[in-house]
Amino acid sequence: MKPKVLILRTAGTNCDSETAVAFKLAGGQTDLVHIQNLISGKVDLSDYHILAIPGGFSYGDDIAAGILLAVEMRHKLSNVLEEFVADKKLIIGICNGFQVLVRTGLLPGLSTEKNATNIDMPQRSTLAMNTSTRFECRWVNLKTEVNQCIFTKGIKPNLYLPVAHAEGRFTAPQEVLDELENNQQVVFRYSNASHHSSDNIEYPNNPNGSDSNIAGICDITGRIFGLMPHPERFLTKWNHPRWTREDLPEEGDGLVLFKNAVDYAKATFHE
């Protein structure tokens, strides 16, 4: 069985094709689906095993990045999303998709798994304007934390991925940050290239000023995952900015995230 991946599209989405390539290389079957086809019922989300919300500038990032798509999902797709999560299926949000997930409340979610299916939950964190007050586009070093995330099972301790965003500063009240730490929901932190440490990291190593240098988080179940860096932009060594100067492995750092998702779906849903 090839797990089925729905890659959500709307006005302003621009990383859907790259995300589709990533899941195809990982062994998944992908469909690019406009949100109106979900809202109308033309496409049934329950037919899929993985939902991917890719990067871009949904609805032009009017008001705030990802907020209009988040409102649309909360008010028009809440029932199908709750069913999807309750069925232990996977959701990944990359860059703009991460912004959407925090604004729906699906991330970081609540602190107990029994409440994880409730999309009508308050927004408990946000992705605010970068402290540099400008769009940041560069490759960054990431440190993998001990975490619950399905997407990062067996992943190496340090990754190198590109970012491209203006509103990527993860921030939350201290009690939420403490909860993320205690529940092992912090997946990636921005780090220092030479020491692979996330201690005392400042700009530009932390490109946006995120609290605790947080670059990606998951929910309490580990099945909903959001990150600001773009793993779909580093799938093979040819994507690396120094591929002509360094002896690199064939597989890029980002591909394993998609492979883990597909492997989980294969093991969990025997159809």
Give the active site residues.
Answer: 95, 230, 232
- To which residue do tokens 């998951």 refer? 218
136-144 and 186-190: which strand pairing?
antiparallel
Residues 6+ apart with CB under 8 A from 182: none
Structure tokens at 251: 């597989």
Distances from the Cα of 203 to the Cα of 115, 191, 208, 213, angstroms: 36, 10, 7, 10
108 prior amide bond cis, ω within 30 = yes
Distance, CA of 231 to CA of 140 (rounded, Å): 11
Residue type, 44: D
96: left (phi over 0), alpha (psi -120 to 50) or beta: alpha
- Beta-bridge partners for 226: 93, 217
Structure tokens at 4: 């089925």
Distance, CA of 66 to CA of 221 (rounded, Å): 23
224-227 and 214-218: which strand pairing?
antiparallel
